[in-house]
Chain A
Amino acid sequence: MADLLRHAWLVTRKDLRLEFRSRTALTSALVFTALVLVVFEHGRDPTAVPTLNLAPSILWVTFSFAAMLALNRAFQAELENQALDGLLLAPISRTSLYWGKLGANLVFVALVQVTGLLLFMLFFNVPVWRVWAPLAAVTALATVGFIAVGTLFSAMVVRTRFAELMLPVLLLPFLLPPLIAAVQVTVPLFAGRPLSEVAGWFRLLAAYDVCFVTLATLLFPFTVTE
């Protein structure tokens, strides 16, 4: 187990170092996030719909799109010089490889989400500070399950035609439960309702995460070994 985590961490660290070195995906994701927020701002009529009602949806749509953008980079770098072969030849388990990639993706998406949230607060003037802890919790829970499946799919999709298009198409249905749950938690959260009202949604998210992280871990080896 210790080896498993250690190797996974080595892969995560390498991925993060690579991403910060080249910065291509990170920059695109951040710019994209800002753009989406601006579009939402100008796409609504402020007199008709109060920000507070729309806020959770805007936030979560932005997070979803940014996450999908982030996922493609995960295995792109491995194809450059067939480094993926090297990773498969090395004495690390496929699980380490998958968790390593998952970890890097989560850090990456978290960065984009934090930035998105700050921009969101700036543009939409929604009082988020009061509820930042439960908001962080629900964001983390909703993101983990979705990214787990996304990491698994990106490993497959990177070797197909139309990879950038294939990933969102495959992933969209998997976005639905976390998205619904996250918005259903965020709405009462912003409206100042007590947490106990949304406990059920937290449980659903946790179940989704456990289920799909496990499933993806089990299925990942099939996507990389011939």
Chain B
Amino acid sequence: MTLAQSGRWLTGIGLLLLGGVYVRALAFTPVELHQGPAQKIFYVHVPAAWSSMLAMGLVGLASILYLLVRDTRYDRFAAASAEVGTVFACVMLTTGPLWAKPVWGTWWTWDARLTLTLMLFFIFIGYQLLRGAVTDPALRARYAAVVGICGLVLLPFIHLSVYLFRTLHPQPIVLKPSAPSAPPEMVTTLLLSVGVFSLLYLGFVIQRYALGGGGAARNV
């Protein structure tokens, strides 16, 4: 089976499972007390956020590896991961406000996590734009790697500075020192969703990687 085919299989399975997770989320998971049905977006929003962070992390890692060994496969992977990451970031940035409006009463707020995710989106966009503006493949790979690494290192600083600034986002309910404070069904649904999104990430990246190219503008 070729790489592209395995990618398509993974994506297919992922989408099917995604459907399954939705059904579970909508029908078999309790409705949250304070937020109501709108809270269900949580099961899409959080995994999308997680996937975009994963994508960025892998872009950074692949960039470092590329600069060390100059294997173009790392560059192709970074490009694929960045594209997929951008898509997930978009999902995250659209589902977020859809969730926020009914629950918080506002579409957007500048707390630590939102600002971080918005900046992550901008870093992805900048990365893509740079790739598109350079025609020479070797140059493009090097430039992209530099930006990818800088972007990755930047994220903790953004998080820290905005966190010190203000916090409004719901406090973590799963990844915190004490036991998760949500009912087990919700946690399970969330974890299932995260798993499925990771699978989708993998499927998308493999397909994109298999398509090849580095993303330069067409008119060479």
User: Do chains A and B directly touch (beta carbons under 8 Å) in the complex?
Assistant: yes
A149 in contact (CB, < 8 A): yes
Q: Which among A173, A176, A177, A207 is the interface contact of B151 at CB below 8 angstroms?
A: A173
CB <8 Å contact, A177 and B161: yes
Name B's interface SS: helix
> Chain A: how many interface residues by the 8 Å CB criterion?
33
A140 in contact (CB, < 8 A): no
Q: Which residues of B contact A211 (CB under 8 A)?
A: 153, 157
Encoded as 1 (CB less than 8 Å from any A CB) or 0, chain B from 146 to 157 comes to 110111011001
CB <8 Å contact, B157 and A149: no
Name A's interface SS: helix
A159 in contact (CB, < 8 A): yes
Q: Which residues of A contact B149 (CB under 8 A)?
A: 215, 219
> Chain B: how many interface residues by the 8 Å CB criterion?
30
Q: Which residues of B contact A222 (CB under 8 A)?
A: 67, 142, 145-146
Encoded as 1 (CB less than 8 Å from any A CB) or 0, chain B from 132 to 166 comes to 01100011001101110111011001101110110
Residues in chain B within 8 A of chain A (CB atoms): 67, 115, 119, 122-123, 125-126, 129-130, 133-134, 138-139, 142-143, 145-147, 149-151, 153-154, 157-158, 160-162, 164-165
Cβ contacts A to B, 12 pairs, < 8 Å = A149-B150, A156-B146, A160-B133, A170-B126, A173-B158, A176-B162, A177-B158, A180-B161, A212-B150, A216-B150, A219-B150, A222-B145
* Known contacts A160-B134, A173-B122; 5 further A-B pairs (Cβ under 8 A): A166-B129, A172-B122, A177-B157, A223-B142, A226-B139
